[in-house]
Structure 1
Amino acid sequence: MASSGQPSKPTPTGQGEGPAPPGKPTTVESHVLDMGAKMLQAMKPIRKIQQHACTFALYAHDLTRQIETHHFVSRLNQDVLQCAVYDSDLPTARLIGVEYIVSDKVFEGLPAEEQKLWHFHAYEIKSGLWACPRVPEALSKPELQDLSKTYGKFWCTWQVDRGDRLPLGAAALMMSPQGVNLGRVRPDLVKSRDENYRLSTDELKASRLELPEPDQWINPNADYWKQHGKGFALDVVETEMKRMAPFP
């Protein structure tokens, strides 16, 4: 994959309301297999998912495209988290991408070119956009303190906001909302999320005022678009294939 200029323009269909994927209804036989496998297999990576966070993301090549995202978080250790990202928390939710989250200590060890693909979480946390539905804010506070100093790399593989019925084309790099005009989340998206979970983003923001301000220690390579006005987009390009030598 290589950088490209302008991906195709989306055809918005409403937040998380694209048509269902093509296909026949799930058969009884498939349901039986799924139930049996669930009883017999350990599913250890899935069982490591312990948290659900709801927030918002912006496409790195087009900040006018914004989506509500649901991150189901598992912890590899205290410095590295991995998130399966869905378009909702319903049983019919579509897996739309993956985000990796690392501490500031880990991030500082990455090459400068790699750091440009990552975003900082401080504003997202402090502004109340990152929410843990149904979890009391007091219980979340210690985790939020740590998360506010982390960096994330989020690849969206299924662009449901443009109505894609399947994951199509190259993955899209996503950015975190920021406290600037070009990086603000649309009020209608925030209002819809708040009403759905009976929470108040403004109240969450007020409760997080004591979290540290990041301006003095945020790495300038993160959120590259803020400094340079340039985003990143991927395209699929044809390339020479490396082939295996014949087996003896």
Structure 2
Amino acid sequence: MAETDKTASAAAAQQVGGEQIPPGKPMTMEQHMLDKGAQMLQSLKPIKQMNQHICTFALYSHDMTRQIETHHYATRLNQDFLQCAVYDSDDSTGRLIGVEYIVSDKIFETLAPDEQKLWHSHAYEIKSGLLVNPRVPEMVVRPELENLAKTYGKFWCTWQTDRGDVLPMGPPALMMSPQAVNLGMVKPDLLKKRDDKYNLSSDALKTARVEIAEPEWINPQADYWKQHGKGFYVDVETTEMKKMVPFP
């Protein structure tokens, strides 16, 4: 790539509404028209099933000093399973940074122990007021919060925007849920920024949620770092690939 092209690409990774967008040319009018036409003609059924916006925080399993605000757009497939597209903001330029799967305690107990190590519990996030449904009255979401308090999640981050990556780089990173006995687990400035944005108080929510029932038992295989002081890191290695064989 020519030096001028590199400069142009770097310049394209600009700030829009406070959010950084990837390198690339601005959308053309033709592209906007094509997208609008496709939106009118296609069903987009899976996307339309996203009926819940959850804002919370996550930490990298291999580096607890890195904490991020996350926005989960959830689809409930049934009473025991949700799937979430995770973004770094709720702005129109929000970047898709990963995916989280959420299962009930009933399903979690059926998983193999080595698989359970990759999951985190949600009770603390909810009881502490870290997990919120922005702009939705607390009384409306209370039943859902009571359900989520008994669930486990597995969250893979595929785009580490917090370290300045303008494109998805490297292998996915396993994320953890805050599990401290107080809000000190999440950096105060990060929490204040979120609370100010949505005009809420995590401390007030913590008090209001004191009667939400916690699970009778949280499987110790979950939140593995809390029990063992160790996280998980994904690396990439070269391996022999399975090749297609000719038909007889």
TM over 0.5: yes
Match of 1:140 in 2: 141
Distance of 1:80 and 1:36 partners within structure 2: 33
**1:99 aligned counterpart, secondary structure:** strand
Match of 1:7 in 2: none
- Code of the residue aligned with 1:218 in structure 2: it is I
Shift of 1:181: 7.5
Shift of 1:30: 1.1
Match of 2:8 in 1: none
- Code of the residue aligned with 1:241 in structure 2: it is M
Matches within 5 A, 1:56-205: 56-180=57-181, 184-205=185-206
Distance of 1:207 and 1:111 partners within structure 2: 36
Structure 1 residue runs of 4+, over 6 Å off? none
**1:222 aligned counterpart, secondary structure:** coil
**1:228 aligns to 2:228 (yes or no):** yes
Distance of 1:76 and 1:169 partners within structure 2: 30
**1:242 aligns to 2:242 (yes or no):** yes
**2:140 aligned counterpart, secondary structure:** helix
Structure 2 stretches lacking a partner, 5+ long: 1-17
- Code of the residue aligned with 1:129 in structure 2: it is L
Match of 2:7 in 1: none
For residues 56-98 of structure 1, the C-alpha deviation after alignment (integer angstroms, 9 at most, x for no partner) is 0000011110000000000110000000000000110000000
For residues 206-236 of structure 1, the C-alpha deviation after alignment (integer angstroms, 9 at most, x for no partner) is 110001234x500000000111111000011
For residues 96-148 of structure 1, the C-alpha deviation after alignment (integer angstroms, 9 at most, x for no partner) is 00000000000000000000000000000000000001100001110000100
Relative contact order: is structure 1 or structure 2 higher (C-alpha 8 Å, sep ≥ 6)?
1
Shift of 1:19: 3.9
- Code of the residue aligned with 2:136 in structure 1: it is V
Distance of 1:241 and 1:19 partners within structure 2: 37
**1:166 aligned counterpart, secondary structure:** coil
- Code of the residue aligned with 1:231 in structure 2: it is G
**1:235 aligned counterpart, secondary structure:** coil
Distance of 1:243 and 1:106 partners within structure 2: 35
**1:158 aligned counterpart, secondary structure:** coil
Work out the percentage of aligned pairs sharing the same amino acid.
70
Q: TM-score, normalised by structure 1?
A: 0.90
* Larger of the two Rg values belongs to structure: 2
Structure 2 contact 149–214 (Cα < 8 Å) conserved: no
Structure 1 contact 52–73 (Cα < 8 Å) conserved: yes
Aligned residue pairs, count: 232
Shift of 1:241: 0.3
Shift of 1:179: 1.7
Structure 2 contact 150–214 (Cα < 8 Å) conserved: no
Distance of 2:166 and 2:188 partners within structure 1: 26
What is the RMSD of the two structures over their aligned residues, measured on CA atoms?
Answer: 1.7
Structure 1 contact 63–183 (Cα < 8 Å) conserved: no
Q: TM-score, normalised by structure 2?
A: 0.90
**2:51 aligned counterpart, secondary structure:** strand
**2:55 aligned counterpart, secondary structure:** strand
**1:22 aligned counterpart, secondary structure:** coil
Match of 1:9 in 2: none
Shift of 1:246: 2.6
